[in-house]
Amino acid sequence: MRGILTRNIFKLSGSRWAAVLLLVAGLYPAGVSQSGTPASPAGAQNPPDQNSAGQKSGGNSGESNSAGQGTDSSDIPRIRVGINEVNVVFTVTDKHGKRVTDLKQADFRFVDDNKPATEIRSFHAETNLPLQVGLLIDASNSVRDRFKFEQESAIEFLNQTIRKGYDQAMVVGFDATPEVTQDFTDDTEKLGKGVRMLRPGGGTALYDALYGSCRDKLLKQPQSGPTRRAIILLSDGEDNLSHVTREEAIEMAQRANAIVYTISTNVSGTKGSGDKILERIADATGGRAFFPFQIRDVSNAFTEIQDELRSQYDVSYKPADLKADGHFRTIEIVALDRKNFRVRSRRGYYAPAQ
């Protein structure tokens, strides 16, 4: 990123947020295990210049990066680590879309950057991992018609999903800017209040909300052990105010090892350009896009997400030739019985940089 983020990408409700967001030194690509002793961390990032040439003043930023807005991985501070393991969460469905939860390691082939993994360190069918969930709700004018129903469906999801002392969730509303109305907590009453605080109005900065939630929240949220990270994004997918692009937001979700589930708020009955954007975000992160054109189907989408978060596989493997070059590496998990099974996982990860 070259000076394109706003200084206040989050307004933390009820408290004063620092005027400059600093990236904490010592982040390393999510989903890649760490070993060895870290070297001196990179310096903190300087606050971006809002008047830089790369900033967009409007229009849909969901297409390819314009000049000056390409992702610069040097802006993400890293440390030198010995890397020997990649962790991936994935979902398997049959040809009818029904989840399959009883397959074994031998039923899959694991390919990293077009080469078979040299060693499978662990393989589990996970049903009970702790969750870190970010609930991102579009509060722009474009979703006003069914906003209240979506709020109630989101609260019901949080009440049914978040287990006290085990899971955590946060609530972020976004229109022209993202706002954290409830930070990470296991208290569903507080989370419900955070959802009810949201009021529709303004433009849409969807990409900023996803980017900031992953960079400034998920990546900084401590993990005491294996944890499943997910973002649930309710929006029509139409972005007109973000300072980052769609692909930069996707990249940050990949760095945070977050699966993104999208729920469209489009009620037209046909998929629009925003729905295609939601599909792209979900597909790139191993999530799933839902299109509940009938308002009563919104709660069904939340139920599907809740069930899926409790019925996924988790694999850790050693890549054949992992290099500390900062490049994006593809992940392909293939069911040997391709005719009957479909695997859904994130598309890849970013290798560490020297």
Confidence of residue 82 (pLDDT cuts 50, 70, 90): very low
Tokens 């989370």 correspond to 191
Measured from the Cβ of residue 107, the count of other Cβ atoms closer than 10 Å reads 17
Residue 271 CB burial class (10 angstroms; 0-12, 13-18, ≥19) = middle
Q: What is the predicted pLDDT for the residue at 160?
A: 95
Measured between alpha carbons, how far is 93 from 320 in angstroms, rounded to an integer?
A: 28
Q: Is the pLDDT of residue 23 over 50?
A: no
Measured between alpha carbons, how far is 235 from 300 in angstroms, rounded to an integer?
A: 16
Q: What is the predicted pLDDT for the residue at 28?
A: 38
Q: What is the predicted pLDDT for the residue at 31?
A: 53
Q: What is the predicted pLDDT for the residue at 10?
A: 54
Within 8 A by CB and 6+ apart from 229, the residues are 30, 131, 132, 133, 218, 256, 257, 258, 259
Number of H helices and E strands in the chain, helices first, is: 6, 15
Half-sphere exposure of 3 (CA within 13 A, CB side): 10
The predicted-structure confidence for 177-218, as pLDDT tens digits, reads as follows 999 999 999 999 999 999 999 998 889 999 999 999 999 999
CA distances from 40 to 46, 72, 80, 83, 230 (A): 18, 21, 8, 17, 30
CA distances from 129 to 108, 125, 132, 167, 303 (A): 22, 10, 10, 9, 18
E strand spans, 188-340: 228-235, 259-264, 289-290, 312-318, 328-335
CA distances from 150 to 143, 168, 200, 300 (A): 10, 20, 12, 11
Q: Which of 155, 262, 161 is nearest to 209 (CA)?
A: 262
pTM equals 0.76
The predicted-structure confidence for 107-159, as pLDDT tens digits, reads as follows 999 999 999 999 999 999 988 889 999 999 999 887 777 888 899 999 999 99
Q: What is the predicted pLDDT for the residue at 128?
A: 85
Q: What is the predicted pLDDT for the residue at 83?
A: 55
Measured between alpha carbons, how far is 184 from 96 in angstroms, rounded to an integer?
A: 36
Lowest mean per-residue pLDDT among 11-20, 138-147, 310-319: 11-20
Q: What is the predicted pLDDT for the residue at 295?
A: 79
Q: Is the pLDDT of residue 330 over 90?
A: yes
Q: What is the predicted pLDDT for the residue at 145?
A: 75
